[in-house]
Amino acid sequence: MKKWVHNEILIKMVFVLGVVASLWVKASYLHYSIGLSPELIIGRVHILLALSALIIVFLNKLVFQRKAIYSLIVTDIIVSFVFFADTVYGRYYGIPLTIPILYQLGFMDDVAGSTFSLLRAKDLIFVVTIPVLITYAFYFRKTLKEKNTWKRNVLIAILLVASVIGFKWTASDVNRMHHAYERKNIAKDLGVYYFHGYDIVDFAKNKWFTSTSMDEAELQVITDYLLAKPSGPGPVALYDADMNLVIIQVEAMQEFVVDLEIEGEMVTPFLNKLKEDALYFENIYHQVAAGNTSDAEFLLNVGLHPAPVGAVNYLHATNKFITLGELLKAKSYENTGFHGYQASFWNREVVYSNYMFDDFISKEDFELDEIVGWAISDVSFYRQAMDVSIQNSPFYSFLVTLSSHHPYDAFIGYEPFTGEYENTQVGNYLKSMRYVDESIEGLFERLETEGVLEETIVVIYGDHSGLYQDQKAALSGLLGLSDHYVAWESIQKVPLWIVMPEAAKTGTISKTGGQVDILPTILDIMGLEHPLTLGESLLVEGPGYAIKRDGSIFTDDYYYNNNEDRLYDLKSYEPVEITESMKEHLEMIKMDLKVSDLILKKNLFNNEEFMKLVE
């Protein structure tokens, strides 16, 4: 009898420990795979993952009682699916999935080419334990179905409480200050289980339990920010006439490709030459977050920062905004947004209407006469977009390109020859940028032929990084980058050209800025007034800065890493002491994010009290 009891306890222990081990290994692999815990050494976060797995198991046993055998297997299957999705998504974006991002998962099948390139054979780790656990549970199902007794429940409750206390004690010295700026840091510090639990609670709180009225503390934050914000000079207003406006947001174009030469050939010869007849800004850092391309569109059209988690296009699609389209509409512009993919992609069909576009031309409206990459080629895209645009005067056309989308396989065999990088992702990326260059040259030729160029301001900029951490070694070799991580951060810039009729203003500007500064710069040139953008015109003299979504900051001379609370010299990459005056300056810059987040969460442009403050 005793032997049977011992065997029964052993069978149950093996099953429980098997589930715990499965949950722990999958979480640890996810952490390692997407760079949350790149070191293989077992550290604090791995202990927290193990404690999280124990908490999950004990909760299952307490809630589901005799049916816990089934609930634990279902839990393992769900975790496997979620962590696999986290891994694929995280290899591209560097962060696990969140509830807001799940709104976006409808397009995962559409980006299969990009997703497939991110898969690894080792990802089978997410499924190998499932048949083992099912087989074991089926074979010992009678033994594993425990009786519901008070002694059993008390013991499980004690173990659950002990696990929770152990988790809190292990995490007691975690600095949580930087979690507000970058959701990924929650996973890095506390583990992916805690990350998903926090995300679910936070999403529910923000979605259903957030008041749209401002409390006294929030009102003070807004007031202090507005009082501290420099007014600066009035708009440059270079044009009296209503100039057409063409804005081109180029998919995945980074600044380093400009003037880059490989195997004796320039990667972007036309755009290099265009700098002579344009204002060119060489130190513009991208500021996108989880919304990626859609965040860049938001930064340009609205002049606010993206959401701290998820995409603005899903979380705040129907907020009241004061947009570039609205300001131009007041001057009788015909506003049209163009993108060569499905109208529902990134919820654009809803958002573009809110941006005050009169029409949105998407994949459903284009003649798909040439396919390069995901859908319509940039060449055909520009041609058809201009067919629509030049029928109106004045017009604002916002063109979001698509051909140069990750993973760039569509450009295998294209020029230029990339030497040792041929048939690699880096080489294919450079080829995609040559294609971008030639396509834009064709657009300018069309505008000139139609006699529209001398009446049109053309703005060209990149939306986000094109090559990610998995290509860091190859790209660093190509560019001769230092292996210091600040060197990598410092190339996360996008190029910006503003081409004006009769070359009214030209030259290369080295002032540091971000994508949030592009809108006020356009407004400055066109003499338009906006009550509140969180950027500053890049034409205003004086030092500049760019704050990233994680709270890290670039100035003209320094890089501040918010996660480390450390300042680096951008030339030497050496740490620099943060003086009191510098600390105050950095804290003032961080107010941009706080105010932007308040405007988004509270829908403040629809709030009379806020608008009175702004005015």
**Unique residue bearing structure tokens 């050939």:** 265
Q: Which residue has the higher pLDDT, 446 or 232?
A: 446
Structure tokens belonging to residue 19? 């589930």
For 34-45, write each residue's pLDDT tens digit: 888 765 557 889
Of 289, 223, 226, 232, the residue nearest 521 (C-alpha): 232
Lowest mean pLDDT of 228-237, 414-423, 476-485, name the range.
Answer: 228-237
Q: Please tell me the pTM assigned to this model.
A: 0.77
For CA atoms 243, 247, 248, 254, the dihedral sign is positive
The share of the chain scoring above pLDDT 90, in percent, equals 63
Where does the chain hold its CATH 3.40.720.10 domain(s)? 240-614
For 579-605, write each residue's pLDDT tens digit.
999 999 999 999 999 999 999 989 999
- Those residues with Cβ within 8 angstroms of residue 141's Cβ, 6 or more apart along the chain or in another chain: 69
Strands (E), 351-453: 359-361, 371-372, 375-376, 395-400
pLDDT band at 229 (very low <50, low <70, confident <90, very high): confident
pLDDT at 288 exceeding the cut of 70: yes
pLDDT in tens, 466-476: 999 889 999 99
Q: Any idea of the CA torsion for 458, 324, 493, 550, to the nearest 10 degrees? A: 180
When the candidates are 3.40.50.12160, 3.10.20.30, 3.40.50.720, 3.40.720.10, the CATH number that belongs to 240-614 is 3.40.720.10
Q: What is the dihedral of CA 445, 446, 449, 450, to 10 degrees?
A: -150
Contacts of 239 (CB under 8 A, 6+ apart): 457, 500, 501, 504, 525, 526, 527
pLDDT score at 110: 45
Give alpha helix (H) positions in 414-459: 425-449
Q: Which two tokens stand for residue 381?
A: 């895209």
CB burial of residue 411 (10 Å; 0-12, 13-18, 19+) = buried
Residue 379 pLDDT greater than 90, yes or no: yes
Looking at residue 115, its pLDDT comes to: 64
- Choice between 542 and 297, residue whose per-residue pLDDT is larger: 297
- The pLDDT score that the predictor gives to residue 4 is 44
Q: What is the tens place of the pLDDT at every residue in 169-220?
A: 998 988 876 675 567 788 888 999 999 998 888 777 766 666 677 888 888 8
pLDDT score recorded for residue 596? 96
* Largest separation between any pair of C-alpha atoms in the chain: 98
Tokens 């500007």 correspond to what residue?
509
Range name among 129-138, 366-375, 436-445, 598-607 with the lowest pLDDT average: 129-138
Tell me: the pLDDT tens digits for 405-433? 999 999 999 999 999 999 999 999 999 99
Q: Phi-psi category of 230—alpha, beta or left, where left has phi over 0 and alpha has psi -120 to 50?
A: beta
